Structure 1
């Protein structure tokens, strides 16, 4: 799966997702781009957008964009706190549909 990591996530997280083609927002040259435009750009090249932005689902009309969004919910955005979410993230990605939204972790 082609994944785009938001700026809210550590770029080192990509090393823990070897079964996927992972790029970062900064690597794509999209640093600082607002969420609506960012999702529009991302849907042209990626299957899913991974973020820690818990408000994203309320700010965007995802039905208009053919990209799935996965929100990683953790105590913090530090890699050590995100790594325990990876088994559930992999399960979620396996069943993810375009325009879908999934939350992984948290309550």
Structure 2
């Protein structure tokens, strides 16, 4: 499983997922890419999961056709301190999500 952290996710969140193979959009040199192009690049480079805070992605792209799974972190803001509490639930989701699926993770 290869996970890509979207540009909208604070890069230090990667440290919270150190037991997974995680790269950031910036590390891959894909900064500024539109979602459709980003999904194509992910598929070409064997990424299986996009971790994002973009709640509109599922309405803008055909994720099933893209062949990647998407985990959307839902928090009041995109600050690291708001996203870290979501990581335990996100870890559970990462182990069961399948390509084409979108799962939202947020505090209830």
Q: What stretches of structure 2 of length at least 5 have no aligned partner?
A: none
TM-aligned CA deviation for residue 52 of structure 1: 0.6
> 2:6·2:25 contact (CA, 8 Å) conserved in 1?
yes
Kindly provide the CA deviation profile for residues 23-73 of structure 1, in whole angstroms up to 9, marking residues without a partner as x: 000110100000001011112221100111111010001111111011110
Partner residue, 1:11:
11
> 2:4·2:51 contact (CA, 8 Å) conserved in 1?
yes
The root-mean-square deviation of aligned C-alpha atoms, in Å, is 1.1
Q: What stretches of structure 1 of length at least 5 have no aligned partner?
A: none
CA–CA separation in structure 2 for the residues paired with 1:67 and 1:104? 17
More helix by share: 2
TM-aligned CA deviation for residue 106 of structure 1: 5.1
Partner residue, 1:92:
93
Q: Give the TM-score, by structure 2 length.
A: 0.94
TM-aligned CA deviation for residue 2 of structure 1: 1.1
> 2:49·2:71 contact (CA, 8 Å) conserved in 1?
yes
- Segments ≥4 residues shifted beyond 6 Å: none
Q: Give the TM-score, by structure 1 length.
A: 0.95
